[in-house]
Amino acid sequence: MKILAYGVQSDEKPLLHAAFDAGHQLRSLSVFLNQDTAPLAAAYPAVSTSVNCELDAEVLALLAAGGTELIAQRSTGFNNIDLAAAAELGLTVARVSHYSPYAVAEHAWALALAVNRRLTRAATRSREFDFRLDGLLGRDIHGMTVGVIGTGKIGECFARIAHGFGTRLLGWDIAENPACLDLGMTYVERAELLARSDLISLHVPLLPDTHHVIDGAALALMKDDAILINSSRGGLVDTAALVETLRHGRLSGVGLDVYEEETGIFFYDRSLEGINDDTLARLVTFPQVLVTSHQAYFTHTAVGQIIDATVRNIEDFEAGRHNENTLVPKATD
């Protein structure tokens, strides 16, 4: 099958081609899918996309008009795809339902440790031969109360690491995870978790009920010296409210791997022209904030699993099958 892959990172490209080149014709592009780049997919039955591609009704119509039949997204999230429009157009849509939860959980902890111990500032100073300790005072993770919002596979991995540090665990989710209970986690109401936790990490999907789950009211409940980590979806956090909270001198650390308006910014080099997003520009000026560009999933293990699942999704489509990754099944006559 002829496949056009959009938004392929340079480190991802050789892995993608090694998986597909044997039985398929793969062309990979670094550009992301949008209305301007959709015509490039003409005559490609399958298109593979990343989470920062735009698959609204207009883009999907362009793909369908060009002969595309399958959208194979290389991510778990799919809030960038208009599934109703895809179904109306007869497009099959598949995603990657899961990959290494350790990749995301470990990156979340990397962010937590970095902002707690001021590692970004320390590294910058060392490169300038400034070896003072002023402003680098952190806290022991051991003994902290850690709140985990969302205790699925990734939240459980995050909790296991927290347990290893010797923390007290609080959890919030629609259902309790027995593995987290075995770690000593206590499930509480969200407001109580926010008020009691020294460190809070978000591991829920972006749904209407979770959009801005951390808003101004939630931030007001948190301790003044709390640490907030988000490696899940940018829309979970009201960034404008977060900036206002930081402006008032609250929160000792914020680590974000995602941002609610990241499309068109993350995965691009904006170092020369800068960005027009005033909220993000203000956010990164706070010394206790660390932003990474949606890289929590980006390990050899996780990317390999994502590619393997994408191959299976495409081959199942060719064979007329659907699997647990199918979001919109193949249209039947």
**Percent of the residues in the chain that have a pLDDT greater than 70, as a whole number:** 99
* 252-297: pLDDT as tens digits: 999 999 999 998 899 889 999 889 999 999 999 999 999 999 999 9
Report how far residue 18's alpha carbon sits from residue 44's, in angstroms, rounded to the nearest whole number: 19
Handedness of CA 190, 193, 196, 199 (dihedral sign): negative
Task: Reply yes or no on whether 163 is catalytic.
Answer: no
Q: Which of 122, 119, 139 is nearest to 225 (CA)?
A: 139
Decide if pLDDT at 333 tops 70.
no
Which residue type sits at 33?
L
3-state secondary structure of 96: coil
Extract the tokens encoding 195: 């008020």
Give domain limits for the chain.
2-99+299-328, 101-291
The per-residue pLDDT for 41 is 97
pLDDT value at position 127? Answer: 96
User: What percent of the chain lies above the pLDDT cut of 90?
Assistant: 93
3-state SS assignment for residue 143? coil
Q: How confident is the model at residue 332 (pLDDT cuts 50, 70, 90)?
A: low
Q: Can you state the angle between helices 153-165 and 101-116, rounded to 10 degrees? A: 40
Query: Is 233 annotated in the active site?
Result: yes
Q: Structure pTM?
A: 0.92
The full length of the chain comes to 333
The secondary structure of residue 77, as a DSSP letter, is -
Rounded Cα distance between 145 and 105, Å, is 17
pLDDT in tens, 112-156: 999 999 999 999 999 999 999 999 999 999 999 999 999 999 999
- Cβ–Cβ < 8 Å for 290, 61: no
- Position 79 scores a pLDDT of 86
Beta partners for residue 92, in sequence order: 70
pLDDT digits (tens, 9 = 90+) for 90-114: 999 999 999 999 999 999 999 999 9
Lowest mean pLDDT among 55-64, 72-81, 224-233: 72-81
DSSP codes of every residue in 250-268: --SEEEES--TT-TTTTTS
pLDDT for 19 beyond 70: yes
Burial class, 43, CB count within 10 angstroms (exposed 0-12 / middle 13-18 / buried 19+): exposed
Known catalytic membership, residue 273 = no
Taking the CB of residue 23, how many other CB atoms lie within 10 A of it? 12
Which among 121, 156, 233, 260 is annotated as catalytic?
A: 233
- Asked: is 101-291 a CATH 3.40.50.720 domain? The reply is yes
* CATH class of the structural domain 2-99+299-328: alpha beta
Nearest by Cα to 264 from 27, 16, 22, 37: 37
Give the position of tokens 């949008």.
Answer: 34
Q: How far apart are CA 269 and CA 273, in angstroms?
A: 9
Name the active-site residue from 12, 262, 270, 300: 262
d(CA 156, CA 164): 12
Question: Which one of 294, 312, 318, 321 is the catalytic residue?
Answer: 294
Q: Give pLDDT tens digits for 205-241.
A: 999 999 999 999 999 999 999 999 999 999 999 999 9
Q: Is residue 181's pLDDT more than 80?
A: yes
The residue with tokens 């778990």 is 76
Pairing, β 326-328 against β 92-94: antiparallel
- Amino acid at site 275: I
SS3 18: helix
Cα separation, 22 vs 278, whole angstroms: 46
Neighbours of 66 (CB within 10 A): 17
Q: CA of 213: how far to CAs of 204, 297, 300, in Å?
A: 10, 22, 31
Q: Indicate left, alpha or beta for 294 from its phi (over 0: left) and psi (-120 to 50: alpha).
A: left
For residue 77, the model assigns a pLDDT of: 86
